[in-house]
Amino acid sequence: MKRIKEFMKLFFKGAITDNATDKIDASAKIHNDMFLTSVFSDKISIPNPLYYYYVELLPYLAEEIKGWEVRITNRKTILGRAIEEGGEP
Amino acid sequence: MKKAENRKVFHEKRFFFLSGKGGVGKSTLSSSLALLFSQKGFKTLVVSLDPAHSLSIAFADSALPPNLSVHEIDIEKEMKNYLNKVKKDAEKIVSPVILEEIKKQIEIAYYSPGAFELAIADAIYKIYKNYSNQYDKIIFDTAPSGYTVRLMTVPDLLENWLKHMINLRRKALKLKAMAELKENDEEDPLISILEKRLKETQTLSHLFSGEETEFMVITNPGRLPIEIAKKTVKELESAGINVEYIILNKWKEKIPSPFPHKKTIFIKELPEEPIGVEKLKKIAEMIERSL
């Protein structure tokens, strides 16, 4: 029982906190969201003077709009995001 | 002596932008300037960017010299064409399920803030790219003052915004490739689009502040047009665009120039409205004389 507990602990440590690519992946997603926010700022009531130029990008971003909208409007905790990005303290 | 030199410098310029409050005579003077150059043997193009087109009225359908062309740009039509083209591209790329939604998103751009200024910038870029090799002189009859100034200050702002967007996208892609343990060597369509725009705006900002370009502000006697001309000059110069000539249109010789430090072109008021090539030629002579 004690061994299994130790095992589980190591497993989760490896899977959650030590997975370096996860952090990079999270950071990539955050940068991508920042990019999407700059393109679609209209949707969250920030006027976008470059929208006329950015429409050319829309066909390539079409698939990502829905996901971005959910992420940007449904942020439950800031802490969750911080942990995702920076790892547990 | 100095006058001859000034004239020589003026004749060596290639791109002319005429600006001023609505109704001061931008179209009349653009047409006259174009006639002046065509008479001197330069292949000349005069372009109207003003939504209220009046070049064809100024020339009054009279026969133009063979080396002079007139081009009136319908900005609203240009905007619609551009958005339709983007829609067509979307049809090729986007899945049919979300295509309608994307089309709506594209249509909104017609009404988005700044769209009109960007469309004018696009139109100037197109003219410059397509015609600067074919013509010796290109004269732009711009939209009334406020728009012009806003437009001329656009390239610098655009450059910064576009650079920021390109960096952001690059960083996101680089991180994504790192997380997936792959090499990031694919050509990204978004970065190519943004870089194309960046190149365009850099070309425009070179055009606006370049050696071959002459900005001229037109004014009439009267407090309102003079104040607006002063404001326009100040705003253009703070955007790094030098205004060398002020055209005092419908002017009386007794009135001193409100711009004592600028070169001025005097156009005295004519007894009848200068419509048609023959009458515009008289104004062309007056321009030549005051250079």
Handedness of CA B10, B144, A47, B90 (dihedral sign): negative
Using the Cβ of A35 and the Cβ atoms of chain B, whether some distance falls under 8 Å is answered with: yes
Predicted TM-score (pTM) of the model is: 0.86
- Within the 47-76 window of chain A, which residues sit less than 8 Å (CB to CB) from chain B? 47-53, 55-63, 65-66
Q: What is the CATH number of the domain that holds B269?
A: 3.40.50.300
pLDDT of residue B179: 83
Residues 6+ away with beta carbon under 8 Å from B69? B44, B45, B46, B135
Tell how strand B243-251 and strand B213-219 pair up: parallel
Q: Where are the domains of chain A?
A: 21-86
User: What are the φ and ψ backbone dihedral angles of B2, each rounded to 5 degrees?
Assistant: -65, -35
Whether B58 is in a domain gets the answer: yes
Mean of per-residue pLDDT scores for chain A: 82
User: What are the φ and ψ backbone dihedral angles of B266, each rounded to 5 degrees?
Assistant: -95, 125
Q: Which of B108, B112, B190 sits opposite A60 (nearest CB)?
A: B190
Q: Is the Cβ–Cβ distance between B17 and B1 less than 8 Å?
A: no
Residues A66 and B157: their CA atoms lie apart, in Å, by 30
Distances (CA, A) of A86 to A16, A21, A24: 12, 12, 9
Residues of chain B with pLDDT > 70: what percent?
98
Whether B99 is in a domain gets the answer: no
* Distance in Å, alpha carbon of A15 to nearest chain B alpha carbon: 15
Whether B169 is in a domain gets the answer: no
Two tokens, residue B252? 């009386």
Whether B92 is in a domain gets the answer: no
* Distance in Å, alpha carbon of B90 to nearest chain A alpha carbon: 5
Hey, are the CB atoms on B94 and A53 less than 8 Å from each other?
A: no
Query: Which of B79-83, B104-108, B270-274, B278-282: highest mean pLDDT?
Result: B79-83
Q: Is the Cβ–Cβ distance between B32 and B280 less than 8 Å?
A: yes
Residues B146 and B152: their CA atoms lie apart, in Å, by 10
Instruction: Give the count of alpha carbons within 13 A of B84, CB side only.
Output: 6
Whether B170 is in a domain gets the answer: no
The count of structural domains within chain B is 1
Domain encompassing residue B252: 2-78+110-152+215-290
pLDDT tens figures, B253-277: 888 889 988 998 989 888 888 888 8
Whether B93 is in a domain gets the answer: no
